[in-house]
Structure 1
């Protein structure tokens, strides 16, 4: 198994892509610390991932606060004795025209998506460097950080993810001497609960299918599609890959039909 006896932290691990990647990481022999803001939701996810409680634990906190990442790293070391992988998946999404974005909304995107990923990566990298075994940091960026989509105006969200992509390149160079690889995926539309944060259940059922045709492969992505890419980049199969932003977008970045 690819992750036998390895340990990962998964931010945003309570649902969607994060929960899927945590579930698959454990299924392939690893142990995980999942980070979420909702205690009940995070604990429930950890139990679903591993009912024994031996290989999946929840850590509750706001990822935009550097102390949350530091505490999660400590939790991984205290419980499992090591840290090999960081899946930096936490994020938010909500399209809004540029002229209508408030300062608070802008700060929220930057704090959760960019600042959060920056400082937990820093905490994880310090631990990986000290251990001397190397490691992998895999960020979840966004296709919206690579190009704009007129139907979903997302200037603040896109700017934050563009920063994440730039961070990957910088960390890949800085951390390479310590054998810490840093990569990211840039997903297209992945059908996760994030859409329920700004759409009603009825709107989700109506709106999401309209994005199928945007992808040359003819369908929206599922959490498993993103998780498989994340797991590959975290695995030894990708041992010669660092500094890459991998589109997981059904072909959108390749062009248009």
Structure 2
């Protein structure tokens, strides 16, 4: 166990963005706990692959305990786990609500509470990065995603709240709010619909997200920031 090596926890680590973030933090020399409902395979001894459903009570404590047992500390948390269900508001079911709120809100609470507690237990502070959506402040008539706005809007709000609460304790909290990113959820855009939602007239790439997260990671004077990575979507059409 190297007491000086930094450690990141990344949730939602089996998806396109999550997998790229694991690689990016390893490139910075961090050890990483990569967690998702289906643990991503790894041969890297500096990556702890951990299966966990962050919506389940107790999952956050298990992720934190396993990370501290393996690596001794936690410096960064990227809350990348999230779900999106597009439906007209009145067609959402109770099951839809439980799923979206469970992952997007309960999952954030579960892991962040435990990680911030671990950060407070030692000197050095830390950094929490949340992944949100530009739909929160740029509603789109062609995208019925009220549960996304409800839950990700909560993340935007709590980002500012926690940034202020822990500013003097060395813990920064930021958010990256996304437009449509080319991932397994949106691998192609044959009719150009997704690209047209962004003023720059293209979809975002996973690397666009990674660059934004790494900027925030290496920007010690930035906290409480909602950084939009959306091709200008949040600025207007």
Aligned match for 1:226, one of 203, 209, 213: 209
CA distance in 1, matches of 2:161, 2:140: 26
Paired residue total: 234
Q: 1:214 is matched with which residue: 175, 197, 204?
A: 197
Shift of 1:194: 3.0
Contact 2:131 2:177 in 1 (8 A): yes
Q: Which residue of 2 aligns with 1:71?
A: 62
Aligned to 1:244: 225
Give the unaligned 5+ runs of structure 2.
Answer: none
1:199 maps to which residue? none
Residue of structure 1 equivalent to 2:154: 163
> What RMSD over aligned residues (CA atoms) do the two structures have, in Å?
1.5
Q: Which runs of 4+ in 1 moved over 3 A?
A: 204-207
Alignment of 1:146 with 2:137, yes or no, is yes
User: SS where residue 182 of structure 1 aligns?
Assistant: strand
* Structure-1-length-normalised TM-score: 0.87
**Higher helix share goes to which structure?**
1
**1:178-198 deviation per Cα after TM superposition (whole angstroms, max 9, x unaligned):** 1100000100001112348xx
| Corresponding residue number in structure 2 for 1:55 | 46
Q: Could you tell me how far 1:205 is from its partner in structure 2?
A: 5.0
Are 1:93 and 1:194, in contact at CA under 8 Å, matched by a contact in 2? no
CA distance, structure 2, for counterparts of residue 87 and residue 95 of structure 1: 24
Give deviations 1:193-216, integer Å, cap 9, x for gaps.
2348xxxxxxx5546x32112211
Deviations 1:201-236 (A, max 9, x none): xxx5546x321122111210111111111121122x
